[in-house]
Structure 1
Amino acid sequence: MASETLTVTALDAQTLRDRMDKHEDLTVIDVRSAAEFETMHIRGSYNVPLPLLSEHTDELVERLGARVVLVCQSGVRAEQARQRLGAAGIDSALVLTGGVPGFAAAGGDVVRGAQRWDLERQVRMAAGSLVLGALLAGKFISPRLRLLAGAIGAGLTFSAATNTCAMGKALSKMPWNKTAAEPTADSAIRQLPAASA
């Protein structure tokens, strides 16, 4: 019976803490927006938002070594980044389970800045408010307005099936999410340590 090789792609918060405490040569990449990064991030991590990573994957691969840990709020965007890096040649990147909040809850060293709701919480609030508003408007104004609740439900289902979030992308462009300057490709890539030979 042939044994299958199991590829490990996840890393728990305690293991990351231990590796960082031992000063292992890790590059921690935070793929959240600059505003989310500013709110709270792992000390020593580098902010390369997912859209930027997606557009400049090959340039990042040239700069990164093999010991990459990807983080976001929950792991969804970090997993998307891992898949992109894997397709470009870095198949050893790991995703932090539980994201930055999980790392902080495990006693990890984080930097806290201006507090704002994370993007995933904003999406839940917007979607819930739209559904509730559509149902109330359907009851008191016109039953046809209930279709909006159905459209939001369909959008959330599509979002889950495709692991994308159009509402999240739209909300990330709102003024309250733009308080921090988004890094440019040049600044994001230049900040990363050069890969060791």
Structure 2
Amino acid sequence: MTTPHALSAHQVHARLHELTVLDVRTPGEYAAGHLPGALNIPLDQISRALPAIRHAAGRGDILVVCASGARSDSARGTLAEHGIDTATLAGGTGAWAASGHGLRHPERASRAPWGMERQVRLTAGALVLTGLGLGLVHPAFRLVSAAVAGGLAYSALTDSCGMAAVLAKLPHNRPRRGDLDAALAALLSR
């Protein structure tokens, strides 16, 4: 690849027509808004998608995208270990939208899914409140709240999120087999 490993939203916008864009967020996050033409290959499915990604990389540059850049950096590292050079969108879809570029939304009959950050906030808040409430019954339950607080601090320091990794495994965050197969077929046709 002749581009740096992190591209700004402006650089991506100028080159979008020549990039193969892989969105490594969960299907729910992807459905909430993604770059035009992006294919959804969730981070935990990258290994399965390696042959198709390798094929697409032989035909042009690959851009890996997530919400903020952390997961796309992880995906870029995994792909680099397999000899596939990619770039990431600095700041992710958040930076893309903040730069005034539109996000695409697939047609859905149901209401829009929640993004991973919102799911983490809800789960963390619910666990803290549960720990505090049960702490009225027995003080040891307050440790649940302390564990969540510690996990959030660790998450901020390491720019990773164990809770998001667990939530990504829930059924509404998993790709339907047909959706992933369609994304892989699209990569192979490029």
TM-score above 0.5:
yes
Q: How many residues align?
A: 183
The answer to whether the aligner puts 1:133 opposite 2:130 as a matched pair is yes
Contact 1:127 1:152 in 2 (8 A): yes
Larger Rg computed on CA atoms: 1
Compute the displacement of 1:182 (Å): 5.0
Compared with structure 1, are the counterparts of its residues 26 and 166 closer, same or farther at alpha carbon in structure 2 (3 Å cutoff)? same
Distance 1:175 1:184 in 2: 14
1:61 aligns with 2:51: no
Q: Give the secondary-structure state (helix, strand or coil) at the position aligned to 2:104.
A: strand
1:9 and 1:94 in contact (8 A); partners too: yes
Give distance in 2, aligned partners of 1:168 and 1:185: 20
Matched residues in 1 for 2:6 and 2:70: separation?
Answer: 12
Aligned-pair CA distance for 1:112: 2.5
- 1:25-40 to 2 correspondence within 5 Å? 25-40=18-33
Counterpart residue identity of residue 38, structure 2: S
> What's 2:66 paired with?
72
CA shift, 1:70, in A, is 0.7
Q: Per-residue deviation at 1:105?
A: 2.3
Deviation at 1:143, TM superposition (A): 1.0
Q: What's the C-alpha RMSD, in Å, of the aligned pairs?
A: 2.7
Aligned position for 1:88: 82
| Structure (1/2) with the larger helix percentage | 2
Q: CA deviation at 1:165?
A: 3.4
Structure 1 residues not aligned, in runs of 5+: 1-6
Contact 2:52–2:188 (8 Å) recurs in 1:
no
The AA in structure 2 aligned to 1:63 is A
For residues 147 and 62 of structure 2, the distance between their equivalents in structure 1, rounded to whole angstroms, comes to 39
Q: 1:191 aligned to 2:186?
A: yes
Report the secondary structure of 1:111's partner residue.
coil
1: CA distance between counterparts of 2:103 and 2:164?
A: 24
Determine the C-alpha separation between the residues in 1 that align with 2:57 and 2:182: 14
Amino acid at match of 2:96: F
Contact 1:73–1:101 at 8 Å: present in 2 too? yes
Which of 160, 166, 181 aligns to 1:170? It is 166
Q: Once the 2 structures are TM-superposed, how far is the Cα of residue 126 of structure 1 from its aligned partner?
A: 0.9
1:84-132 deviation per Cα after TM superposition (whole angstroms, max 9, x unaligned) = 11111123x1111221132122122321245232012211221122123
In structure 1, which of residues 149, 152, 164 is the aligned counterpart of residue 148 of structure 2? 152
Is the contact between residue 69 and residue 96 of structure 1 (CA under 8 Å) also seen in structure 2?
yes
Q: Is the 8 A contact 1:11 1:96 kept in 2?
A: yes
Q: Which runs of 5+ in 2 are unaligned?
A: none
TM-score by length of 2: 0.80
Could you tell me the TM-score, scaled by structure 1's length?
0.77
CA contact (8 A) 1:33 1:182 kept: no
1:3 corresponds in structure 2 to none
Q: Deviations over 1:148-190 (max 9, x none)?
A: 1222234445555665534223323445546x73556643322
Q: Choose the corresponding residue for 2:139, options 140, 143, 160.
A: 143
